[in-house]
C-alpha cells in the first residue's frame, strides 16, 4: 500500500513522449522525484525546463537483459508505463507486437518480481473498435487495427497478472488527448498548423466523431491514479465524455485562428475506412472511483494551442 507517494521510487517509461513529457513536468512541479527511462542519449526534449528531482536512464525496453538488470537493481515501487509505438500508420503487426506487447509483458513480469506496489499503464480507446457510443469499460474489446490489437494484448496480460495476485495494475484508457507538444501527425496539430500558417487544409467529410481531452486533464487522471488506493485491477476511461465531429472541430480551429475559410477544404480527401468509427467515453466510473473530472473545455483547450502556435511563428 502507498501511504505517501513522495516516499516512493517512481519509474516512468515513455517520459519523453507527448503524454510522458507532461506527466514528468507535473511531477516536477509537485516536487516528486522520478527516474525516466528513455532511448534518447540526451534529455534535449526538456531543454530550458526545470527537471529537478529527475534522473534519466538511457535504456531500450526491447533490450531484455538490460531491462532485467536495471529493474533488479533499481527496484521501483511505482511504475508509470507510458512508452509504446503510438503511430497507427505502422502496418507491420510484428513491429507493433514487439513494442506494445512483448516489451510491456516483459516489464510487467519484472515489476511483479521486484514487488512493485502499483503499475499504471495506458490502453487506447481504439480497443473498443466500432462499438456504439458512449463506450463503457464493461464492453468487450473489439480492436480492428494492428495498433489496437497490440495494446489490448498488453492490457489483457496485465490484468491476468493482477488476477493471479502477481501485480497491482491500474489501466487508464485515454481517448483523443491533445495539447501543447502533440505529435504533428495528429488531426488537431495538423489543422492548427495549417490555420495559423494560412495554408490549405484538405480533409475528409469529417463526419466521424471523436472524444477530445486536453492533456493537462489526462495528467490529472495520472496523479489521481497514483494517490487513490483500492483501484488495482480496474480499467478507467479517460475522456471528456463528449464527442464532436471532425468537421466541426476543424471549423472551431479555423474560427479561433481567424483563418480564411476558403483554405479549409472539407471533403477534399477520402475517409480512411479505419477512421470511420466514433468515440465517446463513458466517464462515470472514473468520476465515481477517482473523483476525477475533466476541467478544460474543448473551446478553451483549442484556444490555448492556437495561441501557442501563433506565438511559435513569431
Q: List, for residues 17-32, the tens digit of each pLDDT value.
A: 999 999 999 998 888 8
- pLDDT mean across residues, the chain: 92
Q: Report percent pLDDT > 90 for the chain.
A: 81
pLDDT of 307 strictly over 90: yes
Q: Could you please report the per-residue DSSP string of the chain?
A: --S-GGGS-EEEESTTSHHHHHHHHHHHHTT--EEEEES-SS-GGGTTS--TTEEEEE--TT-HHHHHHHHHHH--SEEEE--S---TT---HHHHIIIIIIHHHHHHHHHHHTT-SEEEEE--GGGGTTPPSSB-TTSPP---SHHHHHHHHHHHHHHHHHHTTS--EEEEEE-EEE-TT--TTSHHHHHHHHHHTT--EEE----SEE-EEEHHHHHHHHHHHHH--S-TTEEEEES-S--EEHHHHHHHHHHHHT--GGGEEETSSPPPGGG-----B--HHHHHHH-----S-HHHHHHHHHHHHHHHH-
Looking at the predicted structure, is the pLDDT value of residue 160 above 60? Answer: yes
Q: State the pLDDT confidence band at 155, using cuts at 50, 70 and 90.
A: very high
Q: Please give the CATH topology (third level) of the domain spanning 187-209+243-279+303-313.
A: UDP-galactose 4-epimerase; domain 1 (3.90.25)
pLDDT of residue 88: 60
Per-residue cell: 45? 526534449
The pLDDT of 297-312, averaged and rounded, is 97
pLDDT in tens, 51-79: 567 888 999 999 999 999 999 999 999 99
Q: What is the pLDDT confidence band of residue 275, given thresholds at 50, 70 and 90?
A: low
CATH 3.40.50.720 fits 5-177+214-239+281-295, yes or no: yes
Separation CA 155–CA 233 (nearest Å): 10
pTM of the model: 0.93
Q: Domain limits of the chain?
A: 5-177+214-239+281-295, 187-209+243-279+303-313
Is 48 a residue whose pLDDT tops 50? no
Q: What pLDDT score was predicted for residue 45?
A: 55
**CB neighbour list of residue 192: distance below 8 Å, 6 or more residues apart:** 253, 257, 302, 305, 306, 309
Give the least confident one: 143-152, 193-202, 212-221, 291-300: 143-152
pLDDT at 292: 98
Residue-wise pLDDT for 166-176, tens only, equals 899 999 999 99
Report the DSSP pairing between strands 118-122 and 169-174: parallel
Contact 275, 129 (CB under 8 A): no
Exposure string over 272-297, b if 16+ CB within 10 A, otherwise e: eeeeebbbbbbbebbeeebebebebe
How does pLDDT run across 227-270, given as a tens digit for each residue?
A: 999 999 999 999 999 999 999 999 999 999 999 999 999 999 88
- Where does the pLDDT of residue 89 fall: very low under 50, low under 70, confident under 90, or very high at 90 and above? low
Convert the pLDDT of each residue in 93-117 to its tens digit.
888 999 999 999 999 999 999 999 9
Amino acid at each position: 500500500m502507498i501511504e505517501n507517494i513522495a516516499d516512493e521510487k517512481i519509474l516512468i517509461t515513455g517520459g519523453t513522449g507527448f503524454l510522458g513529457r507532461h506527466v514528468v513536468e507535473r511531477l516536477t512541479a509537485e516536487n516528486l522525484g522520478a527516474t525516466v527511462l528513455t532511448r534518447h542519449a540526451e534529455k534535449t526534449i526538456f531543454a530550458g525546463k526545470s527537471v529537478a528531482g529527475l534522473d534519466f536512464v538511457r535504456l531500450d525496453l526491447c533490450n531484455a537483459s538490460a531491462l532485467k538488470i536495471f529493474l533488479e537493481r533499481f527496484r521501483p515501487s511505482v511504475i508509470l508505463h507510458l512508452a509504446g509505438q503510438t503511430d497507427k500508420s505502422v502496418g507491420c503487426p510484428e513491429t507493433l507486437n514487439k513494442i506494445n506487447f512483448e516489451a510491456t509483458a516483459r516489464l510487467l513480469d519484472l515489476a511483479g518480481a521486484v514487488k512493485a506496489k502499483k503499475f499504471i499503464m495506458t490502453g487506447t480507446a481504439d480497443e473498443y473498435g466500432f462499438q456504439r457510443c458512449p463506450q463503457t469499460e464493461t464492453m468487450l474489446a473489439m480492436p480492428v487495427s494492428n495498433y489496437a490489437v497490440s495494446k489490448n494484448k498488453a492490457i489483457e496480460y496485465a490484468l491476468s497478472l493482477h488476477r493471479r495476485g502477481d501485480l497491482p495494475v491500474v489501466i487508464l484508457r485515454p481517448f483523443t488527448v491533445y495539447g501543447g507538444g502533440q505529435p504533428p501527425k495528429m488531426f488537431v496539430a495538423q489543422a492548427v498548423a495549417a490555420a495559423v500558417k494560412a495554408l490549405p487544409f484538405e480533409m475528409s467529410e469529417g463526419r466521424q466523431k471523436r472524444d477530445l481531452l486536453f492533456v493537462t486533464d489526462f495528467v490529472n487522471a495520472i496523479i489521481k491514479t497514483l494517490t487513490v488506493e483500492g483501484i488495482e485491477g480496474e480499467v478507467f476511461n479517460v475522456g471528456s465524455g463528449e464527442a464532436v465531429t471532425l468537421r466541426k472541430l476543424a471549423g472551431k480551429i479555423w474560427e479561433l485562428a481567424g483563418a480564411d475559410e476558403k483554405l479549409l477544404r472539407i471533403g477534399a480527401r477520402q475517409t480512411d475506412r479505419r477512421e470511420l468509427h466514433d468515440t465517446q467515453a463513458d466517464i462515470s466510473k472514473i468520476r465515481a472511483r477517482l473523483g476525477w473530472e475533466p476541467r478544460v473545455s474543448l473551446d478553451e483547450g483549442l484556444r490555448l494551442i492556437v495561441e501557442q502556435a501563433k506565438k511559435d511563428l513569431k
